[in-house]
Homo-oligomer: A and B are copies of this chain.
């Protein structure tokens, strides 16, 4: 089984006066990877909101900051999703420094995160069962 990977580059906007990426900004990288994983399944979040009436909201996140990323670094963000309940997806994610080959080698782990995302009704903002395509995608993944 392969883990979904998405590249990111560190720009000035991401860094802070300490010369490293600001701690909140890693959460932006993490979310880009989750969004691109969904897009790779064929679904954009805008379409899901408008057509399926479904929004996703992070309900909890736990982040370990191992080493800092710096300006111009190339990062690889991984995204390993699983079913977390009828209305919840759980994402185990990592951010590595370096091109995709280096990340595969497990070198230079910068950040680890465990993220729980709830599926909400776009109108009422109440929890809503995951769309079938997501349940299927996550179930297939677990069997493989």
Q: Interface digits, A53-72 against B, CB 8 Å rule (1 contact, 0 not)?
A: 00101111111110010111
Instruction: Mark out the residues of chain A between 38 and 80 whose CB falls within 8 Å of any chain B CB in the assembled complex.
Output: 44-47, 55, 57-65, 68, 70-72
The 6 closest A-B pairs by CB, nearest first: A15-B17, A24-B27, A13-B28, A62-B62, A23-B58, A44-B72
Chain A interface extent, by class = 35 or more
Say yes or no for A110: interface residue by CB 8 A criterion. Answer: no
Residue picked from A22, A32, A45, A125, most chain B C-beta under 10 Å: A22
**In whole angstroms, how far apart are the Cα atoms of A133 and B67 in the complex?**
27
Which among B15, B62, B65 is the interface contact of A57 at CB below 8 angstroms? B65
**In whole angstroms, how far apart are the Cα atoms of A24 and B12 in the complex?**
10
Q: Would B55 and A65 count as touching, CB distance under 8 A? A: no
